[in-house]
Structure 1
Amino acid sequence: MKDWHHFFDGKEIRMIDHSDPAILGTAMASFAVDDTLCESIGRTDDTAAIRFWVHDHTVVLGILDSRLPNIAEAVAFLEKEGFDVVVRNSGGLAVVLDGGVLNFSLILPDSSEMGIHSGYELMTAFVQEMYHDVTDQIEAFEVAGSYCPGDYDLSIGGKKFAGISQRRVKNGIAVQIYLCIEGNGQARADFVRQFYLHGQAIKDTRFDYPVVDPETMRSLADLTGAPLTVADAKERVLALIGKWYELDITEEELPVFEKRMKQMVERNEKAFK
């Protein structure tokens, strides 16, 4: 999919800016917000949303991560290093979030056009266009040795800087990306490598956890040599979207958010029992 624009044609675009880590606090709230927006957007055919979110000193785990042979020690290691630990409700494995990582979600109503790969292809094309003035070398393929590897890892020269996931809720689709814009991508990768060592991933015969090689990961600023920032990335997204209006969670949506947040809290409580 080279043309992502038609998915937004004829739609009003709602923007929600949660890029200040103090707004939501825990990353559990971000996943609850996206689910809430999926329900709202899924009841329409003429609305879409873009949401920015940043969480500092946070490691987001996948469900499989919570089943590591020594998950208690692995979580204790993360917490000792000052990181909040959250289990997500979408696919994937462990990722590091901090002030140099921008997450944003494109939230659309489901349609016959949105096949299993469409959301990933849409986001890939979107990011390639975001940075067309900086590089034409962004590719999508699984980067072996990276953390949270997947078919739609985004990389330059084989060095990963972003990963994409998607979640479908009540006729709405949230396509989510974490973009390592600035900071030390290798240090983030080494941190996840240590997490898997503490969790004794190598002893698990049920699942194949990634063997993380810090050399496989970088920030986009490092890869391009350009002075890129999270603030700049937000501006690029909004410039592509064009016409949009800002509206945070509404009073009508609040009960749905509270329900989804309760589910996230319960998911996390169960994950570490």
Structure 2
Amino acid sequence: MSDIDVLLQQETWRFWDQSLSGKSRSALESFAADDLLCQLVGQGQSPATVRTWVHSQTIVLGIQDHRLPFVEDAQDFLLTQGYTPIVRNSGGLAVVLDDGVLNLSIVLSEIQQSIDIPTGYEVMLAFIQLLFPEAEGKIEAYEIVGSYCPGSYDLSINGKKFAGISQRRLRQGIAVQVYLCVEGSGSERAELIRQFYEIGVQGEETKFSYPEIKPEVMASLNELLNASFAVEDIVIRIQQLLQQLSTNVVSQSVTQDEMDLYQFYMQRVVDRNKKMLNEK
């Protein structure tokens, strides 16, 4: 059995679904939740966990996005389009979250074995491939030039990106996070980010090389698979897949015992985001 199979076939999986409850809440709560899970799973206080989450009309910005010469103008543009900008606590650049984008975190522990960064990415790739058998042999992982938040583990079908993966590591816990563009138009989301960078740069020379967005290289799973998935359909698939991978799946949100620690991480994320957004 490969390392990937071992990591996917956990004795117990915890499943925490926030695909409905998260919509009306700030995406900052999701970053706090993943930090919480990193500590709990990393310290052996919780089994390996899969968390699903959806947030409405949010643009999650990376640290480099705050070094745009005209970042205030760019953020004002997002607000006029009905989107709330926040700053993430893992790597990467701007991404779009809305009701048609399902986010998935797989949180694993390094207590038994160390998990290097490529292995973390490969676990998520394998999970997504299992999740969409109708795309068998079609889902590839390599950088899609012209996409927003490009990276070596962009997930694509026929050269069009529908997902991006990032990682967060904390206290022997690893949260591998992916956003899946399920519904709607991938190119419309990309056009929003293209305009964000155009307004943020305004032709100025920058030390950091921001992506030149080509909206046509991004698409949703519905567009790519000629499907009519709703986000909730994929959440059900995730639960079914976990049941195939483990004999014991426990559906559990944050418990009363975990609440103080969650509040600690929440405050930390809020403070950090406020500091970043206020920096000139």
2:131 maps to amino acid: M
Q: Helix, strand or coil for the counterpart of 2:50?
A: strand
2:225 is the alignment partner of 1:224 = yes
Alignment of 1:59-78 (within 5 A): 59-78=59-78
Alignment of 1:128-147 (within 5 A): 128-147=129-148
Q: Helix, strand or coil for the counterpart of 2:152?
A: coil
Q: Helix, strand or coil for the counterpart of 1:4?
A: helix
1:2 to partner: Cα distance = 7.3
CA distance in 2, matches of 1:90, 1:184: 25
* Alpha carbons of structure 1 residues 90 and 125: separation in structure 2 relative to 1, 3 Å: same
Between stretches 206-215 and 263-272, larger displacement belongs to: 263-272
Give CA-to-partner distance per residue, 1:104-135, whole Å, 9 cap, x none. Answer: 10011125341121110110111111112344
**Contact kept in structure 2, 1:68 and 1:204, CA below 8 Å:** no
CA distance in 2, matches of 1:233, 1:200: 37
Query: Which residue pairs with 1:39 in the alignment?
Result: 39
**Contact kept in structure 1, 2:14 and 2:48, CA below 8 Å:** yes
Q: Helix, strand or coil for the counterpart of 2:138?
A: coil
1:202 to partner: Cα distance = 4.7
1:148 maps to amino acid: C
CA distance in 2, matches of 1:108, 1:262: 23
CA distance in 2, matches of 1:130, 1:146: 23
Query: Which residue pairs with 2:16 in the alignment?
Result: 16
* Alpha carbons of structure 1 residues 24 and 173: separation in structure 2 relative to 1, 3 Å: farther
CA distance in 2, matches of 1:34, 1:67: 26
**Contact kept in structure 1, 2:22 and 2:54, CA below 8 Å:** no
1:172 to partner: Cα distance = 0.6
Give CA-to-partner distance per residue, 1:137-160, whole Å, 9 cap, x none. Answer: 110000000000000000011100
Q: Helix, strand or coil for the counterpart of 2:236?
A: helix
Query: Which residue pairs with 2:262 in the alignment?
Result: 257
1:8 to partner: Cα distance = 3.9
Alignment of 1:98-113 (within 5 A): 98-110=98-110, 111-113=112-114
* Alpha carbons of structure 1 residues 201 and 137: separation in structure 2 relative to 1, 3 Å: farther
**Contact kept in structure 2, 1:158 and 1:216, CA below 8 Å:** yes
**Which of the numbers 260, 266, 270 marks the counterpart of 2:271?**
266
1:11 to partner: Cα distance = 2.8
* Alpha carbons of structure 1 residues 202 and 169: separation in structure 2 relative to 1, 3 Å: farther
CA distance in 2, matches of 1:24, 1:39: 26
Q: Helix, strand or coil for the counterpart of 1:196?
A: helix
* Alpha carbons of structure 1 residues 2 and 234: separation in structure 2 relative to 1, 3 Å: farther
Alignment of 1:119-268 (within 5 A): 119-200=120-201, 202-242=203-243, 243-268=248-273
Identify unmatched segments of 5+ residues in structure 1. none
1:268 to partner: Cα distance = 1.4
Q: Helix, strand or coil for the counterpart of 2:90?
A: coil
**Contact kept in structure 2, 1:58 and 1:83, CA below 8 Å:** yes
State the number of aligned residues: 273
Q: Helix, strand or coil for the counterpart of 1:253?
A: helix
CA distance in 1, matches of 2:145, 2:276: 27
CA distance in 1, matches of 2:98, 2:197: 19
User: Aligned residues: percent identity?
Assistant: 45
Q: Helix, strand or coil for the counterpart of 1:203?
A: coil
CA distance in 1, matches of 2:180, 2:2: 20
**Contact kept in structure 1, 2:68 and 2:200, CA below 8 Å:** yes
1:157 maps to amino acid: N
* Alpha carbons of structure 1 residues 202 and 227: separation in structure 2 relative to 1, 3 Å: same
Between stretches 139-148 and 235-244, larger displacement belongs to: 235-244
2:97 maps to amino acid: L
Identify unmatched segments of 5+ residues in structure 2. none
CA distance in 1, matches of 2:65, 2:43: 33
CA distance in 2, matches of 1:131, 1:236: 9
**Contact kept in structure 2, 1:147 and 1:192, CA below 8 Å:** yes
Give CA-to-partner distance per residue, 1:12-48, whole Å, 9 cap, x none. Answer: 1111111115566000000000100111111118820
Q: TM-score, normalised by structure 2?
A: 0.92
Between stretches 74-83 and 3-12, larger displacement belongs to: 3-12
1:105 maps to amino acid: S
Between stretches 138-147 and 18-27, larger displacement belongs to: 18-27
1:67 to partner: Cα distance = 1.4
